[in-house]
A and B are shown apart, each in its own frame.
Chain A
Amino acid sequence: MSLEISRAFVDAIAEQSRAEYPDECCGVILGPAGSDKALRHKPMLNAAHSPTFYEFDPKDLLALYREVDDNDEEIVVIYHSHTETEAYPSRTDIAYAGEPGAHYVLVSTRKEIAPAIEFRSYRIIDGVVTEEPVSITD
């Protein structure tokens, strides 16, 4: 298992994380159903507007799933930022993780490592977190 993602998406997610700091930012990358290919980036609103929590607005969530269905796509990546802690899933992240097929990407923008960011990917299935390699393509 691994995540292959283009440099442009990594940069865009880093940029979004910085722009929405100190709040956590979030979003998805979609791809054709069954492909596991991260091809279409869709930043989402953090309806919680919080430095320690993120949540897709329930209306946005329904619209997203409708769009994914209509386009015969799947959610390949679900990402969010941690602003003060490392890019590892929190207990809350694990409790909420509801997409067994998705790559859960965590980005850390904590100041100790600025201006660099940390970008890591995980599978979270039945409460079990497994980190996977990230391969960034140009």
Chain B
Amino acid sequence: MSIEVRIPTILRPYTKDQKTVEAEGSTLSAVISDLDAKYAGLGERLLENGALRRFINVYVNDEDVRFLGGLEAAIKDGDSITVLPAVAGG
């Protein structure tokens, strides 16, 4: 079981500058736990109080994960996850 996760520039210091990393898990939540185990501190940059951070967008294949159940979104072998910083402000 292997999931490809694309990491945005701002989070690459956590992944030794790798743009794409591999992770495992059958839900987004499990994938993030696995990522955090491999790349310490990354989990905290994605989650806040147990929810996805507002400033971060996560896509499974091409779909915004907010429409797939958020952290409970089902992930299967071969899926591609993309993490992007929101472009927003006031």
What residues make up the interface of A, taking CB atoms closer than 8 Å to B? 26, 28, 44, 48, 52-56, 58-59, 61-62, 65, 78, 80, 89-93, 95-101
Instruction: Count contacts on B: residues with CB < 8 A to the other chain.
Output: 17
Cβ-defined contact, A53 with B82, below 8 A? no
From A56, A90, A91, give the contact of B87 (CB < 8 A). Answer: A56
What residues make up the interface of B, taking CB atoms closer than 8 Å to A? 8-10, 55, 57, 59, 62, 64, 66, 82, 84-90
Cβ-defined contact, A95 with B86, below 8 A? no
What 19 new A-B contacts, CB under 8 Å, besides A62-B64, A98-B55, A100-B10? A44-B87, A48-B88, A55-B87, A55-B89, A56-B86, A56-B87, A58-B57, A61-B57, A62-B57, A65-B82, A65-B84, A89-B89, A90-B90, A92-B90, A96-B88, A96-B89, A98-B87, A99-B9, A99-B10
Cβ-defined contact, B87 with A78, below 8 A? yes
